[in-house]
Chains A and B, each alone.
Chain A
Amino acid sequence: MRALPTTLILALAVLIALLMGSHLANVGALNSPFINPFATDWHSRTSVALTLTWWPRLFSTLLCGAALAVAGVLMQQVLRNPIASPSTLGIASGASFSLMLATLYAPWLMSFSHSLVALAGGIISMGLVFALSWRRALSPTIVVIAGLVINLYFGAFSTVLLMLNQEKLSGLMIWGAGSLTQTGWDNVEYLWPRILVAVIIAFIFLKPLSLLELTESGAKSLGVSLTKLRFICLGLAVLLTSWVVASVGIIGFIGLAAPAITRLMGVRRLVPKLVISMILGALLLTLTDLLIQLLPGILAMVIQTGAATAALGAPLMLWLLPKLTLRHQTQAHTVLTRHHHQVSRLNRSSILWTCCALVIGFCLFATLSVQTDGWQWLLLQGDWSMLEWRVPRLLAALLAGVMLAVAGTIIQRLSGNPMASPEVIGISSGIAIGLIVTIYAGLASSTMGLYLGGLIGALLTMGLIILLNHKSGFQPEQVLLTGVAITALMNAVQTLILAGGDPRSYAFLAWLSGSTYYVTSDTLLPLAVATLALVSLGFLFSKWLDILPLGQSTAQSLGMRVSRARLILLLLAACLTVAATLVVGPLSFIGLMAPHLARLLGFSRAREHLIASALVGGLLMLLSDWLGRQWLYPQEIPAGMVASIIGGLYLMWGLRRL
């Protein structure tokens, strides 16, 4: 059993040694006095390049890789979630958001200390996650959901800032893609003592931590204070990640991949798991970085290592997935199937009232708006030609909101995972990749070309999801992991492009952030038909959606063919997402939020859950589209971003009650 990890580590180490050797031989440093990494000979160009850039870079990759892997192991252990990783708690997005704010509004802070700002942002977002989940004793599910919400929240705000200030923030995009370029030893000197202390503390807490492998009550009966333990271990993980993020930028995937590979090789006990993950993380990042340095400059841009690890790691993850045996996530079910004491019943009159609210809201939003001369109400002002612009956008927002909400409800009930949504399982990301390819292939001249590109992207992703998951019978955790990998790939491509500084990337960002800007009355009819057809299909399957969250065995004993039902529901959700995404862009997060909101309102039976979340989704998107056009008039904030900002607030408030 122990042979496999040793072989892999040796193989990686040999590869790295070869690459290092070939670089040193190339610059002619092998048989010269320049070989010492710590002594700079200022008269030799080779020596300066080696000791001030190459060696520091090598050491920082080793340190960062190890730190991220340790953080990943700690998080996955504490949260008992194989897809938890340093990015789950919103550290990277918090750090990135605080850097943006500082750049725009307090440049003196950036002059004072760049990494301190990032560190503060990461720690504040961790504090928020802890505050939101404190009442439930930092229960793993709540922590993961809180992390997700914080992530979305900061992500939405950052995208808005980025759209409004593209020139000022373009430098930060490089940091966001994780550049490991070094020009001295200061990063290494900053990182190594901190990481060393954190790893030693982690080892001290390993024993109580391994008790968490037992059930929660088992650990409690052994006298372990769960809250304290979770707080310390998550805190350590967050600090490790923040230090890395603050000094070199966002590096994707190592924190997820290194522990996953270790688990895959059959390492079960915690101590060897931590040690092997740490070594693997360090070696993987270093190897990637050495390979990246061999690449010549492509298309006049640098390939940043952080984004590259994510891009390379995603296919690796997809390949590993079918081999990964997952424990069932009993945790997630407790939240999702927990019935509220007073289950709300939808009756005809409340549906009627909500529909009335929708119609009134629609009329109000269509007629009331900021114009050049300030607030105007069309009834008084009479410039009805404005409706030509507003009505299609509002209608499209409404329909897209309904479709995404239904898709989200289906996926959450299907997977029994409250983290799931069309955005999370990767369909939206597939569409985004399709769009990127279309724009960069120069086919974006027509909106039709963009639609087609997005559709092809979605279909390919669907194909991939089905191909990778049909053997496991569409196991919810597997499907989610597939989505995480595809999303990571999309994020990597996106950050690479934004970091390249190509001015075109902002057109793409505008598309990506979910706006109804491109809707015309011609696109409305197909959208309405699609909504009607697909949503009614969703209601036809509502019985399955009642049974599936009860678990596979229960469903089978009730005479259901589980795999087939999952496949059909997945396809339906994908079609809903494609139709909605092509109109409002892939990043709206309505699909995640609307079902949650409906559940917080107390609807938990499938039919009622569907209706309630569809109404919530529609209403939220309607409001968001209108608000997004008024808020910073004449600049427009995409509806999807506003929805994330409004809905995220409510989700945070609701989380306290969950």
Chain B
Amino acid sequence: MKRIFPYLFALFIAFVASIAPAQEQDIKIAVIDWTQVETLLALGVQPVGAAQIADYNAWVKAPEIPEGTVDLGLRTQPNLERLSELKPDQIFISPMFQSLTPQLSRIAPVNNITLYTKNNVSWQALEAYTRTIAKDTHREDAAETLIQSARDTFVSLSTQRPVEVAPLLMVQFMDARHVRVFGNNSMYKVAADQIGLKSAWQGDTNSWGFALVSIDKLIDLKAQIVVIEPLPAGVKQHLEQDAFWQYLVKQTGYPALTIPAVWSFGAIPSTVRFATLLTSALNEEAH
């Protein structure tokens, strides 16, 4: 049973990828923001240039940036000379990189597309975001296919997951004593919502949907702990010996789940990936 999920996800990716060659590459786009990169790739658009490609492939992982896309350097300061050599038709940025606009707009029109702002992130927002990007790259059909296949995946995942699941406390370790805990406005919570699960974190979160807390603040939460990889070096060994963490996990009543790395600030592709991995981890625990 649990073997199914990786296949399901592979099927999703293969399905999405099959749309790609269907349309001609008609518009040259350079992208700075990784959330936009993953969305573009899922829509079958290969950007001419993207920022920090090696880091993207290490942190966002899927869909991977294919050969042929040129590395533009840092996201905070993309290489202007290389960008101007590429002669893109449009440059996609997000509000985080707004201060680059004066320089970038000398090269090509700058398209500033927002996803992560305060109280904005929801499944509707993810759909709208995907449609906006699709409209600007003339991939409206691909967007509808992507959204529909994501919805289908969610439906099938929610029937396959265990019936009784406690609210999820989704955390990512920053060091041995501090975690980012994800709640409102986070992509992880959207993914959990879509398969009918709840988030246990009711506290404040920032525009990216997380709060940075020390682990002693987690003591009262009755929840299923979900640890999202990667764990910083040395943290795993520390947690195995840390009596407080052991106690924390024990008092929740469930063993802590570990989930392979998924980009925390992603769009639809990451959401689907997270929901898939989450379901398979929950099923594995139930067996």
Contacts and interface: CB of A to CB of B under 8 A. Distances in A.
Contact of B82 (A181, A371, A450, A501): A371
B211 A301 contact: yes
Interface string B168-187: 00000111111010000000
Contacts of B203: 297, 300
Contacts of A509: 76
A165 B103 CA distance: 24
Interface stretch (A41-49, A64-72, A396-404): A41-49
B145 interface: no
Contacts of B211: 297, 300-301
Interface stretch (A14-22, A235-243, A338-346, A513-521): A513-521
A171 B174 contact: yes
A114 B233 CA distance: 9
B265 interface: yes
Nearest to A102: B233
B164 to A, nearest CB: 24
B12 interface: no
Contacts of B234: 107, 110-114
Given A181-B178, A184-B242, A300 B210 contact: yes
Interface in A529-549: none
Interface string A168-190: 00111011000101111000000
Contact of B97 (A179, A386, A507): A507
A328 interface: no
A627 to B, nearest CB: 15
**Among B79, B84, B97, B99, residue most surrounded by chain A Cβ atoms (within 10 Å):** B99
B213 interface: yes
A556 interface: no
B216 interface: yes
Contacts of A557: none
A371 B233 contact: no
A444 B74 contact: no
Interface stretch (A319-327, A483-491, A632-640): A632-640
A520 B55 CA distance: 29
A634 B175 CA distance: 31
Contacts of B99: 444-447, 450, 507, 511, 518
B233 A183 contact: no
Contact of A502 (B174, B206, B215): B206
Given A445-B98, A636-B79, A48 B247 contact: yes
Given A110-B234, A389-B80, A301 B206 contact: yes
Contacts of B207: 502
B216 A49 contact: yes
A52 interface: yes
Interface string B209-225: 01111111101100000
A518 B251 CA distance: 53
A137 B245 CA distance: 50
Contacts of B173: 171
A224 interface: no
Contacts of A184: 242-244
A446 B82 contact: no
B21 interface: no
A503 B96 contact: yes
Contacts of B243: 40, 52, 183-184
B109 interface: no
Given A183-B242, A183-B244, A183-B245, A501 B174 contact: yes
B212 A507 contact: no
B206 A635 contact: no
Contacts of B215: 181, 183
Contacts of A192: none
Interface in B47-90: 55, 59, 70-82, 84-85
Contacts of A499: 212
B276 to A, nearest CB: 22
A633 B79 CA distance: 8
Contact of B216 (A42, A164, A181): A181
A372 interface: yes
B202 interface: no
A509 B99 CA distance: 13
Given A48-B244, A300-B210, A171 B81 contact: no
B178 A517 contact: no
Interface string A426-454: 00000000000000000011110010000
Contacts of A369: 81
A631 to B, nearest CB: 12
Contact of A179 (B77, B177, B245, B247): B177
B74 A501 contact: no
B205 interface: yes
A42 B204 CA distance: 30
A42 B247 contact: yes
B74 A636 contact: yes
Interface string B233-244: 110110000111
Nearest to A103: B233
Interface in B94-117: 96-99, 101-103, 106
B96 A45 contact: no
A175 B237 CA distance: 18
Nearest to A170: B174
B214 A181 contact: yes
B233 to A, nearest CB: 4
Nearest to B245: A183
B255 interface: no
Contacts of B237: 111
B232 interface: yes
A500 to B, nearest CB: 6
A446 to B, nearest CB: 7
6 contacts: A108-B233, A167-B55, A500-B206, A501-B210, A520-B102, A636-B77
Given A174-B175, A369-B81, A629-B79, 11 more contacts: A42-B247, A103-B232, A183-B245, A184-B244, A386-B84, A389-B81, A502-B206, A517-B77, A633-B73, A634-B79, A635-B79
